Amino acid sequence: EAALMAARVGRRFVTMEDFESAKDKVMMGAERRSMVLTQDQKEKTAYHESGHAVVGMALPLCDPVYKATIIPRGGALGMVVSLPEMDRLNYHRDECQQKLAMTMAGKAAEVIKYGEEHVSNGPAGDIQQASALARAMVLQWGMSDKVGNIDYSEAAQGYQGNTGGFSVSANTKELVEKEVQKFIQDGYDHALKIITEKEVEFERLAQGLLEYETLTGDEIKRVMEGLPPTEDPDDD
């Protein structure tokens, strides 16, 4: 993929910039710069992504934020990507809870900036991810004290209550749903609290994304401190 990137711009050698572009394309999808967005859509996307980044950087157990962009990629209008520093072999409960907070931070950011009535369908993908993680925590990983250390994943495949001879009572299904909802709600509330406390950094980053469109992890930190993304503003 990097070789293709280099060939397209007429380079004879593959550079680190090509590898960086290739990694972004594979992980996040191809850039869709031709997609026409109104200023209002760009602004809402910037605040949504700013929420993810601010919460992700505030929580020590989340993977480091690698990049934030408001350039449409794949099926998304913008994206914040975290990369683990080493291979992820297992998850711990406190890590999952912080990951849920970062995932729900986009919606929390929209609520803080625009109010409950003006929340978009932008967080749909986030809600899907948060639901999948919370269900795994409750149904498979025994991380819910109320549901306990039982693997309900077989019954959860179709979540019809009776799969492969393994039935789940109506009471248990209700308990599972309440616990999943609680994990997600706790994550959302945590995100809301962090963004409210870091309102200045949140605002700076959203405006920085509107101006620069794509920022790396180190650049995000500088913008949140009120500095230009690079030490020399003339340096690309």
- Active-site annotation, residues: 49
Q: What distance lies between CA 76 and its chain's CA centroid?
A: 11
**At residue 23, what is the residue type?**
K
The C-alpha angle with vertex 48 and arms to 58 and 63, in degrees rounded to 5, equals 35
Q: Report DSSP state, residue 13.
A: S
3 state DSSP class of 68: strand
- Contact residues for 164 (Cβ-Cβ < 8 A; gap 6+): 154
Nearest to 152 by CA among 179, 125, 126: 179
